[in-house]
Chain A
């Protein structure tokens, strides 16, 4: 298996405050990897650093090419789609416009049209509401829209920041089911950051545990889920 994303000795700063202290991990092509950890551990910062939305040092390589010093909008052109915390919905635009925005860097008009239809097949609720203002959707629907918008890029790697946040358990189950399907069928590699460790470990094949800006544990998702000590001390269930 080839390495798609390789992060080495990543340090990130908010002003004078250092949030990541030399974090290293990698993600294989086609895998679904999860970053776990408590509030403030540095999960979101890691995703933001990959997209150069926060000042950082260290090496970030995507498919062998360095991502450092590239602007956020350029990194998207590598095929990295980031679904940020809070979903980043364009609330005053329609559902369909949100999907078109996901594909704004693509030039193939016909492909975009057929991809929008494909998203409606994945998420039928979005088709029902395609002319509706995105801000009027429920939280779960907005999360579906955010995932669909990211997929419109035809990404090679999707970064998801706490997709389960604020959603009802049943909706979360649904969403994670779809993520697994996207990962298997569309061959999109996924890096998902979660506080809901139990669910993320069921879905993922590989997991890393972050604590105060460092990786403290890594391994197969199954092994970590089955290791009671790790679960109790780091994941809290």
Chain B
């Protein structure tokens, strides 16, 4: 029983990270109808920035905040420079853009910081949480930061005018422009926020997966699985999906014979395919009916 509880809690902790990545993916998907394949690399690069800041002697939380601001601005810059000109381009052009972005960020990180695996500090420590053997303080910290982030985002989107404007721009762009919302900047803002959310995920998971240019590859696939499971049209669903995938991944790795650590990732891919076959809109997604 202790093994079970332990695995569930650990799953919730990594699930928090998947939830962040899924949420970042869904925010951009809602705004521009494309999946950002480079979301993980953007998060990885941000994490390197924070690491570099700490190497220069800046304390953890200061580096954390500076990285958030950097990621936010970088996200907006990427949208303005690369994806705004592609707004009306066909899907494949956009996909090529995302893959290019992926390759550019990945190689730049390798060029600047090389591909050796680096230790990344945790601000929470790795002692058992409150003396319990079930969960470490870092895992508890991951959950805590994510919950704070999600609450903050909820209030932002539900109770601020700019949050309302962003939702309007994502759901009916033409009507949003007719009430005076600059939808193009709302998309850029969405990119900035998604990038900042991704950077939080990167900084929280780095002590677990260690810092290197390919650190987010697996995490992003789990993030996609979470987003598909919850429904790409539902931010709430993406978050729930993240936690479910985290727990599912751990339980499958522990209890299904032959899965172990090596086959965890294919399980995420199998999950994506099963959801798409059985319930394409996801658990909380809306069915999108298009007139043809």
The answer on a CB contact under 8 Å between A104 and B165 is: yes
The answer on a CB contact under 8 Å between A73 and B164 is: no
The answer on a CB contact under 8 Å between A104 and B164 is: yes
The answer on a CB contact under 8 Å between A102 and B179 is: yes
Say yes or no for B167: interface residue by CB 8 A criterion: yes
Q: A88–B180 Cα gap in the complex (Å)?
A: 13
A84-104 vs B, CB cutoff 8 Å, 1 = contact: the mask equals 100011111100010011101
**Which chain B residues in 25-56 approach chain A with CB under 8 Å?**
none
Say yes or no for A105: interface residue by CB 8 A criterion: yes
The answer on a CB contact under 8 Å between A101 and B165 is: yes
- Determine how close the nearest CB of chain A comes to the CB of B88; give it in whole angstroms: 13
Say yes or no for A149: interface residue by CB 8 A criterion: yes
A interface, size bucket: 20 to 34
Q: A73–B168 Cα gap in the complex (Å)?
A: 13
- Determine how close the nearest CB of chain A comes to the CB of B122; give it in whole angstroms: 39
Chain B residues whose CB sits within 8 angstroms of the CB of A82 once the complex forms: 178
- Determine how close the nearest CB of chain B comes to the CB of A99; give it in whole angstroms: 10
The answer on a CB contact under 8 Å between B286 and A92 is: yes
Say yes or no for A231: interface residue by CB 8 A criterion: no
Say yes or no for A153: interface residue by CB 8 A criterion: yes
Chain B residues whose CB sits within 8 angstroms of the CB of A102 once the complex forms: 179
B interface, size bucket: 10 to 19
Stretch with Cβ within 8 A of A (4 or more), from B16-24, B78-86, B169-177: B169-177
Chain B residues whose CB sits within 8 angstroms of the CB of A105 once the complex forms: 179-180
Q: Is the interface of A mostly helix, strand, loop or mixed?
A: loop
Which chain B residue has the least Cβ–Cβ distance from A87? B175
Q: A214–B183 Cα gap in the complex (Å)?
A: 33
Q: A149–B178 Cα gap in the complex (Å)?
A: 11
The answer on a CB contact under 8 Å between B181 and A104 is: yes
Say yes or no for A51: interface residue by CB 8 A criterion: yes
Q: A73–B177 Cα gap in the complex (Å)?
A: 5
Say yes or no for A8: interface residue by CB 8 A criterion: no
Say yes or no for A76: interface residue by CB 8 A criterion: yes
Which chain B residue has the least Cβ–Cβ distance from A75? B180
> Assuming A90-B168, A104-B161, is B175 touching A76 (CB within 8 A)?
no
- Determine how close the nearest CB of chain B comes to the CB of A81; give it in whole angstroms: 8
Select one of B172, B179, B286 contacting A104, CB under 8 A: B179
Interface residues, chain B, with chain A CB atoms under 8 Å away: 161, 164-165, 167-168, 171-172, 174-183, 286
